[in-house]
Each structure stands twice: as structure tokens, then as C-alpha cells.
């Protein structure tokens, strides 16, 4: 029985080889279409768009491995730019269809079904497994912290892609070993709010026990005021930070200084004040 089941299940290497082969063939067919479109673009533009200064090119991609991916992209070019683009595009297609294509990450990866096994995307996962947890006593401790955080951010995108693909596979009734779709947590609600209110009042509850009157948030009120052509006075609204988050430098909103930095600034100010008094 065990020998029969072993013979029935293909080796993992063979399965990966089939996946890579299927993805390569699909990519090859897709690039072949683009190759024809690019080759005929200059001919078509001269025959059918004579006298037109600018041409708007639109690419529609009906399928993506990411749920929120843009399905259409467009760019406006001139005849000269299109003629200059054609030889570059031919070279890129030839490189993509070669035996050793160059792997480069980009927004185009969202359409590739082989992304979960692509070395350009799995590389950060392997790097993270080789990264030892940094300690303050290690040399370049702060740099290692930054490297580790960058790897974790890369893996978040990789993890989301795997999760979305597995969910869609299960929705198609495919089998993902060890995983299945589960119903969300049940949310209770009143079958009939009016009938429930009357029954609860008769039960002996007070209105305040059933109905909670709360004021709308400033954002909700501002939206309603804007729809009526009104403006909420700024002095009615106060704002406070919900906490401190760790973000990359380019995503910072309001920088927060650390406690040590605040202490050093206070010490420097105190020393300057003492020198001024003496």
C-alpha cells in the first residue's frame, strides 16, 4: 500500500519542474504576443494614425495573482518614441525567452503565477533564515536591525501573495495540503430590532440599557457637513496620537525622538544655561 501511494505521488522536484515549465511556457506565449504587437506597432501607427502626434497605448491584463492589482495600464507616446522603443523591446523579449533570462523584481511580477517559487522573491526568505537575531553586543548592531526589518517587510509581501493564491485555489475546490477554508467568526445581531426593543422593555430593561446614543466622529460629521455646504470649526476638534509606530524613513509622518535623545538634548540645554549664568 505504501509503495503504491509513493508511486502515485510525484516527487517534489518533478512538481516544481512542471510548475516552472508551465509558467515559462505561459510567459513565453505572452511575450510572443507582445513581440508581435511591438513589431507591428510602427507599421500600424503609420498606416492608420497618420497625422496623429500622440498615441495612447493601453495594456489590459484580465488575470492577476494579487486581488487589488490594477488590470489596465496606459502610456502616451509619440511616433518617434515608439520607433525608438521597438528595438529595445525586441532585445528585452529575446532576453526573456533565452535559456538564462535575467530576473528582476517589479510591478510586473503581480501577474506571474510563478512568483511564489521565483528566486527574486524567495531570496529574502532564505536570507532571513540565515540571519542570526542581533544583540546589542554585536558589531554593527543597528545596521543588522535595519537589515532584519527590511527582510521582514519583503516577506510580508511574499506571505500575502502565497495566502491569496492558496485561498483562491481552495475556492476553486483545489486541494492545498494542510489548509482549508474556514467560516469567519459568527457576529450576533437582532433579528428584528423593533420587536427586540419592545420585548426587552417588557422584560424590565430601561431604554438606556438597550439604546446607546453616541456622538459621531469628527470625520463623519465633517463629511456630512461638506455634503450640506457647511464647515465644522477647527476649534471644536482636538487630536491626539494613538501611539508610536515603527516605519521606514520615507513613510514617517511626525518624527518622534527617543528617550535617550530627549535626555541628551535636555542635558545639553541645561549645560548651556549653566554656562550662561556663570
- Indicate the average pLDDT of the chain: 76
Cα 145 to Cα 133: distance, rounded to the nearest angstrom: 9
Task: Decide: residue 121, CB within 10 A, 0-12 exposed, 13-18 middle, 19+ buried.
Answer: buried
Q: Which residue has the higher pLDDT, 76 or 59?
A: 76
On the question of pLDDT at 163 being above 90, the answer is no
CB 239 within 8 A of CB 217: no
Predicted TM-score (pTM) of this structure: 0.40
% residues pLDDT > 70 (the chain) = 76
pLDDT reported for residue 48: 67
Residue 172 is predicted with a pLDDT of: 84
Which residues partner with 58 through β-bridges?
A: 74
Question: What pLDDT does residue 278 have?
Answer: 47
User: 111 or 136: which carries more pLDDT confidence?
Assistant: 136
Q: What is the pLDDT, as a whole number, of residue 263?
A: 75
How do residues 234-268 score in pLDDT, each as one tens digit?
A: 899 988 777 777 777 777 777 776 666 777 777 88
Cell of 98: 533565452
Domain borders along the chain are: 2-111, 118-171, 193-229
DSSP track, 66-88: STT--SEEEEEEEHHHHHHHHHH
Q: Which three cell numbers stand for residue 96?
A: 526573456
Instruction: Tell which wins on pLDDT, 150 or 222.
Output: 222
pLDDT higher than threshold 80 for residue 209: yes
| pLDDT of amino acid 111 | 67
Mean pLDDT of 84-96: 82
Q: 51-60, 136-145, 225-234: lowest mean pLDDT where?
A: 51-60
Amino acid at each position: 500500500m505504501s509503495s503504491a501511494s509513493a508511486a502515485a505521488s510525484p516527487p517534489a522536484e518533478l512538481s516544481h519542474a512542471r510548475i516552472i515549465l508551465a509558467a515559462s511556457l505561459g510567459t513565453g506565449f505572452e511575450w510572443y504576443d507582445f513581440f508581435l504587437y511591438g513589431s507591428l506597432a510602427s507599421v500600424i501607427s503609420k498606416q492608420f494614425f497618420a497625422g496623429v502626434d500622440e498615441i495612447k497605448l493601453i495594456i489590459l491584463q484580465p488575470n492577476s495573482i494579487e486581488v487589488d492589482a490594477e488590470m489596465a495600464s496606459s502610456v502616451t507616446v509619440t511616433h518617434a518614441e515608439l520607433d525608438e522603443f521597438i528595438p529595445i523591446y525586441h532585445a528585452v523579449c529575446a532576453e526573456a525567452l533565452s535559456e538564462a533570462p535575467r530576473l528582476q523584481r517589479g510591478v510586473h511580477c503581480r501577474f506571474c503565477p510563478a512568483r511564489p517559487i521565483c528566486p527574486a522573491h524567495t531570496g529574502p526568505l532564505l536570507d532571513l533564515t540565515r540571519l542570526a537575531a542581533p544583540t546589542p553586543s554585536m558589531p554593527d548592531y543597528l545596521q543588522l536591525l535595519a537589515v532584519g526589518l527590511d527582510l521582514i517587510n519583503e516577506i510580508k509581501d511574499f506571505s500575502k501573495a502565497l495566502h491569496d493564491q492558496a485561498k483562491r485555489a481552495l475556492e476553486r475546490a483545489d486541494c492545498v495540503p494542510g489548509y482549508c477554508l474556514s467560516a469567519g467568526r459568527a457576529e450576533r445581531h437582532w433579528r428584528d430590532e423593533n420587536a427586540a426593543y419592545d420585548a426587552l422593555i417588557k422584560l424590565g430593561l430601561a431604554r438606556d440599557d438597550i439604546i446607546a446614543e453616541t456622538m459621531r466622529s469628527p470625520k463623519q460629521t465633517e463629511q456630512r457637513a461638506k455634503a450640506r455646504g457647511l464647515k465644522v470649526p477647527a476649534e471644536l476638534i482636538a487630536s491626539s496620537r494613538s501611539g508610536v509606530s515603527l516605519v521606514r524613513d520615507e513613510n514617517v509622518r511626525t518624527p518622534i525622538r527617543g528617550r535617550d535623545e530627549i535626555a541628551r538634548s535636555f542635558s545639553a540645554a541645561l549645560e548651556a544655561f549653566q554656562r550662561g549664568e556663570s
